Structure 1
Amino acid sequence: MRRSVLAVAVSGALAIGGVGVAEATTGYQLDGIGQYQVGMGGAVVAAPGDPMTAISNPAGLADIKPQVAFSAEVFNPTRSANFGFGEIGSHTNVYAVPSLGFAAPVGGGLVFGGGMYGTSGLGTNYIQSIPPTFQQTLHGNTLIASSNLQQFVFAPALAMKVNKHLSVGAALDIGYESASFQEQFGNSQTLTQSGFNLSSPSAAYGVGLTLGFLYKVNPMVTLGLTYKTPQIYTPLNWQESSEFFPAYFNSKTGQVTGATGRAGEYSAHLNYPQQIAIGLAIRPIPQWLVSIEGQWINWKNTLNQFTIYGPWNGTNSVSLPVHWRNEYVFNFGTQYDVTPGFQVRAGYVYGSNPVPNADTAANLIFPAIVTNAITFGATEKLGMGWKLTEAYMHSFSNTIQGGPLLDGLQNYVQAGYVQNTSSTLTENSYGIQIGYDF
């Protein structure tokens, strides 16, 4: 079994503090953008309720009033990991998540809208002392493992109501991402003796397309469908003086061996996956909305292997097998109009875990492993077109467990000197959104 320290670091970079994610996360993707979507558990492809639909299903722009909305959210993930030397917690756990959406008719049956959203954090920050037994092998007495990936997406969109049943729309997804990560062993004062260090943030730009369809079967039933193409990004680039990649521990020689890199430019691509969402919205009575949705997210094509190119000794690339699987997501949301000016809603999200247990060690810095979440929300109309929306989300704790961090440590696990790796994640978010109907 081959487990690399570098794989652990890079998997952390895959955190889209970016996107990605905040709210109950499926992989590193948001379950809902803005507080209406959060309160509905993300089940909005067939139930557009505010201009954030430009991001989830642009066809929905043709079925809502002209309006604008701004959302501000506090995202609070609690994370812990065991690198083999005892469980530790991450030192960062509060992030801000803004989003903005608008919709306005432009004539000829067309509606122009757009959405902007961003998340930050969702990386991790672990610092741990190395037991004396392994200090010489790992070239130091301290482990630092951190990552930060931020992503911001702007999605200008056009929608058209073809007839009283069918609406169509498309959005251009323009993305910006910034990534940094490191995995180093060293003395507590200077972590420079060995390890992988890409801690200076690098920026990249990407583009993709979202296509949406909305079909009203009758006043009670609506169907929704969206397809998001892969979002392709320019390379992330880092200028580094040297790199050391400890690939595995040899129990016979007592040495760590692996790849080393010379001074120069290192680069990698971090694209965003294609996905499909299908939704059904039903109004049993005019005041009551029930919406369900299914999603398929193609993580395997973007995060099965993560390759870093650069002036490695003897090769020009190192591929990291993070082995993410495709994810299947179920969203449920319901809304009830208590009065004409007051709505309440609740939701539930289930997403299959894209991170295999066998690859826990390669994904410690970015767990992305929660599978179940509940949400609650409400909207109050304040008069003169203004409205206020609030939402709360809780993702239940989930833990994955795998083998040793480094190859060759299985005997040490069995002897009790080190432990198998594990990762745990719980999430909460609190948000408020102000909207105005024109």
Structure 2
Amino acid sequence: MKKSQILGIAVGATLAVGLSVSAFATDGYQLIGIGQYAMGMAGAVVAAPDDPLSAAMSNPAGLALMTPQAAFSAEIFNPTRKTNFGFGETGSHSNVYGVPAIGWVAPAFGDGIVFGGGVYGTSGLGVNYLQQNTPLGTMQGYSSITFMQMSPSLAMKVNSHLAVGASLNIAAEQGSFQQTIGQTVPGGVNPVTHFPYPPSTSLTGLNLASPSWAYGVGATLGLLYKVNDMVTLGATYKTPIIFTPMTWQETGEVAGSLTNPVQGGSGQYSGHLNYPQQVALGLAIRPIPQWLISVEGQWINWAATMNTFNIYGPWTGQSHVGLPMHWSNQWVANIGTQYDVNNWLQVRAGYTWGSNPISNANTANNLLFPAVVQNAITFGATQKLGMGWKLTEAYMHAFANTISGPSSYAPFGAPDPASATLAENSYGLQVGYDF
């Protein structure tokens, strides 16, 4: 077998690891909540939005019930990831990211109508795996996504029971990805496969490491219905956010399946990473005026956006190569509670569970973006400081979860199955001001 054929098959195995988008936070690659009130409530705010961020990003109808105010949130997101390509476990070399957010609401266009919105961003989400001295040489897996969303919103209080709202979701994302094999020995024979090593200078695979921007638009529709002083119902529908393609100018690529690697020439490569549609229903109950219990159910249509990532470009004999991810749709259940201790202190806690969108059978297709956590707990508090100022803090811990399945490198003597492990922590602080 020729060296180029051997390397092509190895690269095909590497590309079977797959690509997706940023896969941190409990709900696939979607944050549990935007802002520290929503985080402290474990995202259960569709029926109980309480600040501009939780309303604009989760249920814009809630803006109609708020006094003029603004909020600024800063969050440190700390995921811990480990993977096994089949040659032993390795950890990611990046684990701290920032999540800033700003929200506002003010009267507009007449009685009962308000204008508000929110802006948030996540930076650098992804992994950075480097594993040396495998039978195939040095394996490098790298992914990075920057995501920003602005949601200008209008809301109206229809009557004493009903409020409705809508947000225009304007988003930008920047992505870069790399899955390559580079040899660490100067030729010789692989003792496991008995195949000759390519030269030590070889580096091949999918290398889209130059960041590329894409821009998208979608919408959120929401309503709140106050049944009585104890019970409020909430519902939202978020359309997909449809993005322009990300593009990369490259001198050559290798992709495809394990048994059929595809060579790509010099030119432009591109791919779409759209954001899925979703539906959420919520119920908020106040057994007594100072105690709030909020529950929520959510459906996220990952199967429509995360089934296959198609990379278009100057491939030999075809227009695009599809990288399989095969995410399933996700069901999420959240519960949060808040208690007013006194006139200046509120405390809250929550729990969220999400079904895993990645099956064990598809572990090897998603090692670069392990969206596998399922259970998380949150805690938070708000202090009303006087003169309109308030301070809100939150902490989230997502418990470690591991999936495992067949390794793409089994034909090359990989002794272990493929696996992905993810755990998360986040720490946030938010400053609010009521005008």
**With structure 1 as the length reference, what TM-score do the two structures score?**
0.91
Q: 3-state SS of the aligned residue for 2:116? A: strand
| Match in the other structure for 1:232 | 242
| Match in the other structure for 2:87 | 85
Output one character per residue of 1:397-421: Cα deviation in whole Å (capped at 9) or x when no partner: 0000010124745xx3xxxx52110
Kindly indicate whether the alpha-carbon contact (under 8 Å) linking 1:305 and 1:320 is maintained by their aligned counterparts in 2: yes
Q: 2:126 matched to 1:123?
A: yes
| Match in the other structure for 2:165 | 169
1:179 to 175, 178, 201: 175
Deviation at 1:130, TM superposition (A): 3.4
Kindly indicate whether the alpha-carbon contact (under 8 Å) linking 1:247 and 1:407 is maintained by their aligned counterparts in 2: no
| Match in the other structure for 1:65 | 67
Kindly indicate whether the alpha-carbon contact (under 8 Å) linking 2:16 and 2:258 is maintained by their aligned counterparts in 1: no
Distance in 2 (CA, whole Å) between partners of 1:221 and 1:305 is 42
Kindly indicate whether the alpha-carbon contact (under 8 Å) linking 1:372 and 1:396 is maintained by their aligned counterparts in 2: yes
| Match in the other structure for 1:209 | 219
1:157 to 136, 142, 153: 153
Residues 322/386 of structure 1: CA separation in 2 closer, same or farther (3 Å cut): same
Distance in 1 (CA, whole Å) between partners of 2:101 and 2:16 is 32
1:164-313 maps to which residues of 2 (within 5 A)?
Answer: 164-187=160-183, 192-245=202-255, 247-248=257-258, 258-313=261-316
| Match in the other structure for 1:381 | 384
Kindly indicate whether the alpha-carbon contact (under 8 Å) linking 1:48 and 1:63 is maintained by their aligned counterparts in 2: no
| Match in the other structure for 1:34 | 35
Residues 8/326 of structure 1: CA separation in 2 closer, same or farther (3 Å cut): same
1:427 to 410, 418, 424: 424
Output one character per residue of 1:206-253: Cα deviation in whole Å (capped at 9) or x when no partner: 00000000000001100000000010000110000001226326xxxx
| Match in the other structure for 1:54 | 56
User: Quick one: which amino acid aligns to residue 56 of structure 1?
Assistant: S
| Match in the other structure for 1:437 | 434
Q: 3-state SS of the aligned residue for 2:341? A: strand
Residues 248/432 of structure 1: CA separation in 2 closer, same or farther (3 Å cut): same
Kindly indicate whether the alpha-carbon contact (under 8 Å) linking 2:274 and 2:305 is maintained by their aligned counterparts in 1: yes
User: Quick one: which amino acid aligns to residue 267 of structure 1?
Assistant: S
Question: Which portions of structure 1, spanning 4 or more consecutive aligned residues, are displaced by more than 6 angstroms?
Answer: none
Distance in 1 (CA, whole Å) between partners of 2:37 and 2:147 is 21
User: Quick one: which amino acid aligns to residue 376 of structure 2?
Assistant: A
User: Quick one: which amino acid aligns to residue 212 of structure 2?
Assistant: S
User: Quick one: which amino acid aligns to residue 247 of structure 1?
Assistant: S
Tell me which moved more, 423-432 or 101-110: 101-110
| Match in the other structure for 2:191 | none
1:70-149 maps to which residues of 2 (within 5 A)?
Answer: 70-106=72-108, 107-131=110-134, 134-135=135-136, 141-149=137-145
Deviation at 1:150, TM superposition (A): 1.1
Q: 3-state SS of the aligned residue for 1:5? A: helix
Q: Pairwise CA RMSD of aligned residues?
A: 1.7
Q: 3-state SS of the aligned residue for 1:121? A: strand
Q: 2:323 matched to 1:314?
A: no
Output one character per residue of 1:129-148: Cα deviation in whole Å (capped at 9) or x when no partner: 133xx33xxxxx21111000
Kindly indicate whether the alpha-carbon contact (under 8 Å) linking 2:256 and 2:323 is maintained by their aligned counterparts in 1: no
Kindly indicate whether the alpha-carbon contact (under 8 Å) linking 1:9 and 1:181 is maintained by their aligned counterparts in 2: no
Q: 3-state SS of the aligned residue for 1:364? A: coil
User: Quick one: which amino acid aligns to residue 39 of structure 2?
Assistant: V
Output one character per residue of 1:62-91: Cα deviation in whole Å (capped at 9) or x when no partner: 112211000000000000000011000000
Deviation at 1:25, TM superposition (A): 2.2
Q: What runs of 5+ residues in structure 2 fail to find an aligned partner?
A: 1-9, 186-199
Distance in 2 (CA, whole Å) between partners of 1:191 and 1:78 is 32
Q: 2:398 matched to 1:395?
A: yes
User: Quick one: which amino acid aligns to residue 184 of structure 1?
Assistant: T
Distance in 2 (CA, whole Å) between partners of 1:153 and 1:407 is 41
| Match in the other structure for 1:355 | 358
Deviation at 1:8, TM superposition (A): 2.2
User: Quick one: which amino acid aligns to residue 366 of structure 2?
Assistant: N
Kindly indicate whether the alpha-carbon contact (under 8 Å) linking 1:5 and 1:362 is maintained by their aligned counterparts in 2: no
Kindly indicate whether the alpha-carbon contact (under 8 Å) linking 2:86 and 2:409 is maintained by their aligned counterparts in 1: no
Residues 6/387 of structure 1: CA separation in 2 closer, same or farther (3 Å cut): same
Distance in 2 (CA, whole Å) between partners of 1:394 and 1:226 is 26
Residues 246/315 of structure 1: CA separation in 2 closer, same or farther (3 Å cut): closer
Q: 3-state SS of the aligned residue for 1:334? A: strand
Distance in 2 (CA, whole Å) between partners of 1:418 and 1:246 is 23
Identity of aligned pairs, percent? Answer: 61
Q: 3-state SS of the aligned residue for 1:27? A: coil
2:375 to 372, 376, 381: 372
User: Quick one: which amino acid aligns to residue 337 of structure 2?
Assistant: T
Q: 3-state SS of the aligned residue for 1:130? A: strand
Distance in 1 (CA, whole Å) between partners of 2:184 and 2:104 is 50
Q: 3-state SS of the aligned residue for 1:26? A: coil
Kindly indicate whether the alpha-carbon contact (under 8 Å) linking 1:185 and 1:191 is maintained by their aligned counterparts in 2: no
Deviation at 1:188, TM superposition (A): 5.2
